[in-house]
Amino acid sequence: MRQLSGQRAWLLQRLSAVLLLAAVLAAVLFMLAGPRLDWQAWRSFVGHPLGAVCILVLACALGAHAWVGVRDVLLDYVHRAALRLLLLALAAGVIIVTLLQILLIVAQAALVQL
Amino acid sequence: MSHSHTPGDRGDASPARARAPLGVSRPRFLSLAAIRFPVGAIASIGHRLSGLLMVAILPLLPALLASSLRSEREYQALLEGWASPWALPVEFLVLWAFLHHLLAGIRHLLMDVGIGAGLASARISARIVIAAAFIAALALTSWSRWT
């Protein structure tokens, strides 16, 4: 049961946590000390290649973190194999669709600015 | 957390009691109302609950992102927040979930590298995490109303 061995999941959870924590700290610092982020500035940040990559990397970290967390909870509390598989598939589907939606929105914002 | 399912676990049939040594009457199931959880367990279950809550609202994120980019008016509306009285408990709950998950997560990461992993300090940090997340969520919810 290589998939359930847990060490890779554990590492992925910690790495994504550190990345998300760094992003939260950066956002709080910006809110406290940075310029006011108006709509134009927000749009050009999301549309800029660097901003878009930042958002997509963070979205992937969030998706990975959510997946490992939900997986841990389901493996701990749901013991019926069929139900467990169903819920795992549902969670994976929701997370993947959410990430794809974010990818589309960011890509669109980048295209508008070309 | 292990849930052992010994034969005496369910129902109130007498065999489990009859098998108990020396006729000692023991509780045969975990009564959540009777158990006092250690403070670390409360911080930990809060970490899981807050994580699940945020995963539950994760699918709303693309719509919020799209709306923030669509027009200046929608962007401002998002920043100003939702005026309905229902917004208050929702805002508190989401802020609590975020803050508790963040603080409890930092606590776990520090323990991973050996900081505060002893029993006494783990108990103190669990109390701090629970209280700080609650108080900060309350403060931020009220602050967002008055400014």
pLDDT digits (tens, 9 = 90+) for A11-30: 999 999 999 999 999 999 99
Rounded to whole angstroms, the Cα distance separating A88 from A74 reads 7
> For A32-60, what is the mean pLDDT?
94
B contact test, residue of A37, A71, A98 with most B CBs within 10 A: A98
* Cα A92 to Cα A88: distance, rounded to the nearest angstrom: 6
Nearest-Cα residue of chain A relative to residue B72: A39
**Chain B, nearest residue to A46 by Cα:** B69
Among chain A residues, CA nearest to B47: A69
Q: Which of A53-67, A85-99, B14-28, B119-133 has the lowest mean pLDDT?
A: B14-28
Contact indicator for B62, A101 with CB cutoff of 8 Å: yes
Buried b (16+ CB within 10 A) or exposed e, B83-119: eeeeeeeebbebbbbbbbbbbbbebbeeeeeeeeeee
**What pLDDT does B21 receive?**
60
Q: What share of chain A is helix, strand, coil (3-state, %, to 5)?
A: 90, 0, 10
* C-alpha distance from B60 to closest chain A C-alpha (Å): 8
- pLDDT reported for residue A113: 80
A46 touching B, CB under 8 A? Answer: yes
Residues A65-94 have a mean pLDDT of 96
Q: State whether A69 and B62 contact (CB < 8 Å).
A: no
Mean pLDDT by 10 residues, chain B (147 residues): 41 47 66 81 96 97 96 91 81 96 97 93 96 96 78
- Entry field: residues in chain A: 114
Nearest to B69 among A14, A46, A69 (CB): A46
pLDDT of residue A6: 80
State the pLDDT at residue B22.
63
Query: Which chain A positions have a beta carbon within 8 Å of B52's beta carbon?
Result: 69-70, 73
User: What does the pLDDT average to over A50-61?
Assistant: 97
Average pLDDT over residues A47-57: 96
ipTM of the complex: 0.91
According to DSSP H, which parts of B38-86 are helical? 39-57, 61-70, 72-80
